[in-house]
């Protein structure tokens, strides 16, 4: 099959190819001081997932591990402390070079009743 300008159409279409996107160079963020790679356009949660990290928060009462669940900011399971700001939804926060992500325990700070 060909396109209108008679160039052959690839049979292996990918999101990057369809969007004609080329990600920029990787940069570094940290989780609890551990350096991790991230790519432009990734959320903090996506960068953590890509590094094989599935949990970066514990629940308030039982200390159970939590990470991304819904991926759209509705469930609040992915809360993390990003650059000293607690209760950031990691699935919505864009990863930026040098971001310091810290595992969040419970509510993230004593004066916040979540």
The predicted structure's pLDDT at residue 50? 94
Give me the chain's average pLDDT, please: 83
Share of the chain above pLDDT 90, in %: 47
Give residue 31's pLDDT band: very low, low, confident or very high (50, 70, 90): very high
Pairwise CA distance, residues 17 & 27, whole Å:
22
Give residue 11's pLDDT band: very low, low, confident or very high (50, 70, 90): low
Write out pLDDT tens, residues 38-76. Answer: 999 999 999 999 999 999 988 888 888 888 888 888 888
Write down how long the chain is. Answer: 114
The pTM score is 0.73
Spell out the alpha helix ranges (H) of 3-112: 15-19, 44-50
Pairwise CA distance, residues 5 & 8, whole Å:
9
Tell me how far apart the terminal alpha carbons of the chain are, to the nearest angstrom.
56
Structural domains in the chain? 23-103 (3.10.20.440)
The predicted structure's pLDDT at residue 68? 85
What would the two tokens of residue 1 be?
């099959």
């Amino acid at each position: 099959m060909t396109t209108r300008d008679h160039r052959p159409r690839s049979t292996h279409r990918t999101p990057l190819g369809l969007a004609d996107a080329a990600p920029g160079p990787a940069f570094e963020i940290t989780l609890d001081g551990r350096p991790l790679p991230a790519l432009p356009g990734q959320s903090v949660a996506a960068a953590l997932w890509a590094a094989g990290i599935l949990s970066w928060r514990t629940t308030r009462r039982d200390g159970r591990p939590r990470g991304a669940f819904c991926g759209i900011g509705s469930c609040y399971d992915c809360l993390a402390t990003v650059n000293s700001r607690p209760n950031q939804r990691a699935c919505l926060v864009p990863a930026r070079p040098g971001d310091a992500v810290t595992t969040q325990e419970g509510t993230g700070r004593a004066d916040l009743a979540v």
